[in-house]
């Protein structure tokens, strides 16, 4: 039996990603029927980019690793005893293709699971993937509104004036009585809309499958996007990646934008034709852009995006705030409880990224 926190009983939860003892204790207290297996050499540690999801003191926790072959061997032993995985270790994917796995679900830590669902090996395994939908909404919406407000109030210019000790008067833009188009009205897009409307911005939502929403002034199908862009001061893209959305924001769509419009991307970088975005910024068609995601990550240092006028680039880290792992564990506990009681799981991902009705 691999190293474990609890001897497996009832449902066996195997940790693919490190959890500190306090969060393991929370799972144990809420779900006493769950056995928790934590094999240090087979877990992703609390470091790197995702380490920012942990509290500061937890990022220093040592998680011993091993060579690829050693980790894959560990997962060949772990996977057959697992009913649930907390996140998916890359080394577990080859073992996942085995026909004898008994996984009920994988609890992922991302707001979407497009990358996992696009992996043919995972698809062949036929395992249910649940996302961390809802955890990242607030931080990403804060990023979008901060970028918009900073642009409207010319914070880039003010920072330069401050650096140069210049008492320079400048004219700012008001945000109330302006208009925003939010493309992708899932939980992240909805969080953006709520914040924007609090500032007096009229918000028009675009969804691939429109549903009525009290959080926006109107809801439109994707086919209406071209008609909405000319009237939008602010465009926020919160769409997932996938064949249906690849390159959606291309030269033609940027050409339809209101002159000086501001573009924010908190969805996926693949939804944007980046050379077209650079051209729109250089021509002044767009007044600026804030990008938390790019098509290639990390963004190469030679990319023209770095030097495009009015652009702010975040290293896909706008959602990384301390304490987010606690909320992910809340979702894990909810799904473990639902599995135990025979109720539908929440945040179940689907192949096209469409939010399931049961959530």
Whether 177 is catalytic: no
What's the Cα-to-Cα distance from 162 to each of 113, 117, 156, 313, rounded to whole Å? 43, 48, 10, 21
Catalytic annotation present for 316 = yes
Residues 159, 177: contact at Cβ < 8 Å?
A: no
Letter string b/e over residues 319-339, b meaning 16 or more CB atoms within 10 A of that residue's CB: bbeeebbbbbbbbbbbbbebb
CB 353 within 8 A of CB 338: no
Choose the catalytic residue: 195, 208, 268, 285.
268
The one-character DSSP state at 280 is: H
What is the rounded distance in angstroms from the CA atom of residue 342 to the CA atom of residue 330?
18
**What does DSSP assign to residue 17?**
B
Q: Which of 297, 340, 343, 359 is catalytic?
A: 297
- Between CA 146 and CA 29 the distance in angstroms is 38
- Tokens 């409880």 locate to 337
Catalytic residue among 59, 133, 285, 316: 316
List the catalytic residues. 268, 297, 316
């Amino acid at each position: 039996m691999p190293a474990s926190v609890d001897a497996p009983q009832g449902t066996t939860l195997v940790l693919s990603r490190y959890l500190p003892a306090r969060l393991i204790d929370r799972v144990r207290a809420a779900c006493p029927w769950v056995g928790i297996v934590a094999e240090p050499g087979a877990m992703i540690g609390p470091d790197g980019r995702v380490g920012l999801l942990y509290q500061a003191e937890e990022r220093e926790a040592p998680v011993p690793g091993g060579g690829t072959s050693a980790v894959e061997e560990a997962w060949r032993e772990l996977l057959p005893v697992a009913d649930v995985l907390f996140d998916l270790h890359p080394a577990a994917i080859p073992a996942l293709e085995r026909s004898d796995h008994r996984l009920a679900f994988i609890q992922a830590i991302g707001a979407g699971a497009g990358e996992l669902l696009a992996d043919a090996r995972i698809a062949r395994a036929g395992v249910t993937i649940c996302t961390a939908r809802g955890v990242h909404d607030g931080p990403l919406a804060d990023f979008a509104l901060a970028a918009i407000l900073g642009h409207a109030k010319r914070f880039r210019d003010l920072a330069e004036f401050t650096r140069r000790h210049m008492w320079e008067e400048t004219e700012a833009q008001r945000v109330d009585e302006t208009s925003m188009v939010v493309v992708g009205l899932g939980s992240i897009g909805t969080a953006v809309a709520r914040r924007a409307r609090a500032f007096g911005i009229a918000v028009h939502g675009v969804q691939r499958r429109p549903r009525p929403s009290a959080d926006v002034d109107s809801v439109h199908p994707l086919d209406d996007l071209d008609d909405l862009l000319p009237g939008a001061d602010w465009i926020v893209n919160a769409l997932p990646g996938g064949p249906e959305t690849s390159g959606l924001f291309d030269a033609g769509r940027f050409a339809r934008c209101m002159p000086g419009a501001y573009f924010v991307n908190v969805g996926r970088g693949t939804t944007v034709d980046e050379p077209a975005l650079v051209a729109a910024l250089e021509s002044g068609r767009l007044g600026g852009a804030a990008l938390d995601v790019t098509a290639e990550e990390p963004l190469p240092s030679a990319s023209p995006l770095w030097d495009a006028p009015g652009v702010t680039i975040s290293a896909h880290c706008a959602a990384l705030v301390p304490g987010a792992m606690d909320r992910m564990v809340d979702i894990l506990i909810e799904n473990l409880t639902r599995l135990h009681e025979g109720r539908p799981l929440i945040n179940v991902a689907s192949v096209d990224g469409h939010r399931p009705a049961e959530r």
